[in-house]
Amino acid sequence: MVPRPFKVKEIIRESHDTVTLDLQPEKPEKEPGFAPGQFNMLYTFGVGEVPISISGSSSGADSYLHTIRDVGKVTHALASLKRGQKVGLRGPFGNAWPIEQAKSRDVVIMAGGIGLAPLRPALYALLSQRDQYGNISLLYGSRTREDLLFHHEFETWKGKYGVQVKVSVDTADRDWKGNVGVVTTLIHRVSFDPSNCIAMICGPEIMMRFSAMELVQAGLEEDKIYMTMERNMKCAVGFCGHCQFGPAFICKDGPVFSYDRIKPFISTREI
Amino acid sequence: MNKPGVIDREGLNRLIQTLIGRGYQVVGPTVRDEAIVYDNVFSIEDLPAGWTDEQEGGTYRLKKRSDDALFGYTLGPHSWKRFLHPPERRLWQAQKDSLDFDIVPEQPDNTKYAFLGMRSCELHAIAIQDKVFIQSPHTDLHYQSLRQNALFVAVNCGQAGNTCFCVSMQTGPKVEAGYDLVLTEILDDSHHSFLIEAGSEAGKNILEEVKAGPAGAGEIKKAEEIVTNTAKQMGRAMETGNIKELLYENLEHPAWGEIAERCLSCANCTMVCPTCFCSTVEDVTDVAGDHAERWQKWDSCFTMDFSSIHGGAVRNSTQSRYRQWMTHKLASWQDQFDTSGCVGCGRCITWCPVGIDLTREVAVIRESTTCQEENFSGSEAQNENS
Ligand SMILES: Cc1cc2nc3c(=O)[nH]c(=O)nc-3n(C[C@H](O)[C@H](O)[C@H](O)COP(=O)(O)OP(=O)(O)OC[C@H]3O[C@@H](n4cnc5c(N)ncnc54)[C@H](O)[C@@H]3O)c2cc1C
Ligand code: SF4
Ligand code: SF4
């Protein structure tokens, strides 16, 4: 329940409102390691604490990367931190993307906006054992091209690892040559075998719901589709009750859920 | 565990003194602000002698009894959670100098509480909170410390209230497990005594010091009759068969909207409920900004902030909040903790300012067969990516 002291080791500006912080433990003894999909609770002095997913590689790192979109009080304080400043960190919490289950299958990753951050560790994990997986696709939707995260890595993912990377924006300027529109339209532009495929989705709830419906249309079974849920979260250890989503606590049963499990709830308003 | 004994009022006083002598902070029923509340008890003089309560949906009234019963009431607005899971407590403090700050955690509370006059439903409620705070992947060390130190002196209910339904929830009225000592108050024209039994080694040990007389067959039979009789007086009942499926299948039932027309979203029901455990945290700083503290406070799923995420609250309508509360109590709790979240104490009915009664609302949903279609608004489909 008590935050551990971490220092900001590096700051990477990702876009006009998003930064990645590299957070290093002050006492670098025994970091527990983490699995792709897990998150930490980050505390800035006197301001507050929020859940933020880990966005870096899960293998061998001695620090945590966190990609934070400045949307409010605490995220603004986090995004304004300077190198060397201290933050409190609790975690890692939560479950993981189905990296093992995806072995010898095609993988479709769908992200909306900041939703690519929690999926990047999953992609890294897949690519670190590239030969174990079939076709890998990344379908990424963003508001504008300025909001695209990690775009400098797209070429490596495409060229070196043969990932089918497709990007779409909601609003495009004249120079934009790519797709415009909702991310679901990209599903038909990549090849995967729906009978032997795992999908991982992270983005706004509405985007995940439509993406899952579209993937089912395309032939995926509901239990092969995974997504992360977001709710208010105070404790991250199952005590505060805030992150309940139907029968689940997002902090300890999630944040990753299979679609078949949460379908009745994700399609109910205000649950 | 061992043979029941009998004590009189003086014996009960000896019990209280024995507990105090052993370092316990004894907490029990006392009359304050026209209600029976749990507070420190130093002798039997502090107990609500001759008082009872009348309860109905939205009403609670103290009334004089014709006798001097000490436990002749049912339940007040307090539950023991206010001691084991207090309404607010500091989690840690932090001190800042230049760029750095240091966090000092709060040490777990080592108070030894002895709770006097606990009812069967209340013991069940604590067993339920144990599942939340102890028997889960993480342990709340503060709760665990208080819980392990606490001693439970229970009472078999001599009468049921109008909003009680422990029989439906299989949580009472007879105290069967989880207690250290249990009393049954026996009153007739000439006698005022208490059958007393130990339910643990600690209870047995204390009982030896209290020096109870041996119970006769008549007293044992009488005590048995008292609690059997109470079981027949339940003011409410709730049909619990398939209740989880019933509620999950009716998330869009018109009843929720109908309840919302009455519900004030005041959160009373969650505050008085002995199993509701939700909390929030508040980060505070001093004026200079060098000292910060984090406090944990009871919270309620009826507040707007409870479900707020960047962009607004998930549960904006009263209807969705009441649905969350009741569905959690009676359905999702089963998935989460393998037990119902309701022990049938009736507090939420009594203390609801408009008398909303979950037993009735469940019955309304059960009796109807209508299942509303899911109802999406088309406008939501915009802005998919943001
Ligand atoms: C498991 C999980 C992983 C997340 N990963 C990331 C990530 O990698 N990058 C990222 O930028 N964002 C992530 N978020 C969202 C991020 O936590 C919110 O944007 C942040 O909490 C907003 O807080 P604020 O004070 O800046 O916003 P404000 O709008 O000022 O405040 C919102 C209020 O809601 C509270 N709150 C509690 N939980 C949440 C929540 N889940 N979402 C929004 N508000 C919340 C805040 O503490 C605050 O009181 C994640 C959320 C969850 C649940
Ligand atoms: S839901 Fe109501 S009746 Fe059930 S335990 Fe809570 S307060 Fe008592
Ligand atoms: S049900 Fe009653 S007590 Fe609960 S929030 Fe609504 S009005 Fe308040």
Query: Residues B141-158: pLDDT tens digits?
Result: 999 999 999 999 999 999
- Whether residue B127 lies inside any domain: the answer is yes
Q: How far apart are the first and last CA of chain B?
A: 64
Mean pLDDT of B27-49: 97
Count Cβ atoms within 10 A of the Cβ of residue A69 and give its class: 0-12 exposed, 13-18 middle, 19 or more buried: buried
- Whether residue B158 lies inside any domain: the answer is yes
On chain A, the residues whose CB falls within 8 A of the CB of B336 are 247-249
Tokens of B39: 């507070």
Nearest CA to ligand 1 atom 51: A51
- Whether residue B20 lies inside any domain: the answer is yes
Do A133 and A103 contact (CB within 8 A), yes or no?
A: yes
Beta bridge partners of A67: A20
On chain B, the residues whose CB falls within 8 A of the CB of A3 are 92, 103
Ligand 1 lined by A168 (C-beta under 6 Å): no
Nearest CA to ligand 1 atom 37: A232
Determine, for residues A269 and B299 on separate chains, whether the beta-carbon distance falls below 8 Å: no
Do B280 and A49 contact (CB within 8 A), yes or no?
A: no
Interfacial A residues in 248-267 facing B (CB < 8 Å): 248-249, 252, 264, 267
A72-91 tens-digit pLDDT:
999 999 999 999 999 999 99
On chain A, the residues whose CB falls within 8 A of the CB of B379 are none
Determine, for residues A49 and B283 on separate chains, whether the beta-carbon distance falls below 8 Å: yes
One-letter amino acid at A107 equals V
DSSP H helical ranges for A116-258: 116-128, 154-159, 205-217, 250-253
- Whether residue B299 lies inside any domain: the answer is no
| Fold assignment, A4-93 | Elongation Factor Tu (Ef-tu); domain 3 (2.40.30)
Number of domains making up chain B: 1
| pLDDT of the residue at A32 | 78
Nearest-CA distance A73 → chain B (Å): 10
Q: What whole-number percentage of chain A has pLDDT above 70?
A: 100
Q: A106-228 — its CATH code?
A: 3.40.50.80
Phi-psi region of A137 (alpha: psi -120 to 50; beta: other; left: phi over 0): beta
Query: CB-based contacts of B26: which residues, under 8 Å, 6+ apart?
Result: B16, B19, B20, B40, B41, B42, B113, B114, B116
Do B266 and B353 contact (CB within 8 A), yes or no?
A: yes
Determine, for residues B385 and A235 on separate chains, whether the beta-carbon distance falls below 8 Å: no
Residue extents of the structural domains in chain A? 4-93, 106-228
A25-67 tens-digit pLDDT:
988 777 778 999 999 999 999 899 999 999 999 887 788 999 9
Mean pLDDT of A197-220: 96
Determine, for residues B314 and A252 on separate chains, whether the beta-carbon distance falls below 8 Å: no
Cα nearest neighbour of B309 on chain A: A232
B244-289 tens-digit pLDDT:
999 999 999 999 999 999 999 999 999 999 999 999 999 988 888 8
CB neighbours of residue B287 within 10 Å: 6
Closest partner residue to A270 (CB to CB) among B285, B292, B317 is: B317
Q: Which has the closest alpha carbon to B157: B233, B237, B215, B84?
A: B233
Give the H/E segment covering residue B342: none
Whether the predicted pLDDT of B374 surpasses 50: no
Which ligand 2 atom lies nearest to the CA of residue B121?
Answer: 5
Question: Residue B14, Cα to own-chain centre: how many angstroms?
Answer: 28
Residues A43 and A21: their CA atoms lie apart, in Å, by: 13
Token look-up 């992150």 returns A243
| pLDDT of the residue at B382 | 39
B189 pLDDT tier (thresholds 50, 70, 90): confident
Q: Share the mean pLDDT of chain B.
A: 93
Ligand 3 lined by B301 (C-beta under 6 Å): no
Mean pLDDT of A257-267: 92
- Whether residue B381 lies inside any domain: the answer is no
Whether the predicted pLDDT of B188 surpasses 90: no
Mean pLDDT of A217-226: 97
Residues B61 and B46: their CA atoms lie apart, in Å, by: 19
The answer to whether the predicted template modeling score (pTM) of the entire model surpasses 0.90 is: yes
Mean pLDDT of B212-225: 94
Mean pLDDT of A142-148: 93
- Whether residue B262 lies inside any domain: the answer is no
A158-191 tens-digit pLDDT:
999 999 999 999 998 888 888 998 999 999 999 9
Report the separation in Å between the CA atom of B6 and the middle of ligand 2, taken as the mean of its atom positions. 33
| pLDDT of the residue at B369 | 60
- A21-39 as b/e: b if 16+ CB within 10 A: bbbebeeeeeeeebbbbbb
| pLDDT of the residue at B379 | 38
Q: Which has the closest alpha carbon to B22: B153, B108, B112, B83?
A: B112
Ligand 2 lined by B329 (C-beta under 6 Å): yes
Report the separation in Å between the CA atom of B40 and the middle of ligand 3, taken as the mean of its atom positions. 29
From the CA of A94, which ligand is nearest?
A: 1
Query: CB-based contacts of B75: which residues, under 8 Å, 6+ apart?
Result: B36, B53, B119, B121, B122, B161, B164, B345, B346, B347
Determine, for residues A238 and B328 on separate chains, whether the beta-carbon distance falls below 8 Å: no
B22 pLDDT tier (thresholds 50, 70, 90): very high
Q: Give residue B95's domain range.
A: 5-231
Mean pLDDT of B226-247: 95
Whether the predicted pLDDT of B42 surpasses 90: yes
Ligand 1 lined by A188 (C-beta under 6 Å): no
Q: What whole-number percentage of chain B has pLDDT above 90?
A: 88
Tokens of A33: 């390691």
Tell me the count of A-B CB pairs closer than 8 A: 154
| pLDDT of the residue at B385 | 47
Whether the predicted pLDDT of B386 surpasses 90: no
Ligand 2 lined by B343 (C-beta under 6 Å): yes
| pLDDT of the residue at B378 | 36
Indicate the pairing of strand A136-142 with strand A225-228. Answer: unpaired
| pLDDT of the residue at B153 | 98
Residues A190 and B278: their CA atoms lie apart, in Å, by: 45
Ligand 2 lined by B344 (C-beta under 6 Å): yes
Whether the predicted pLDDT of B376 surpasses 70: no
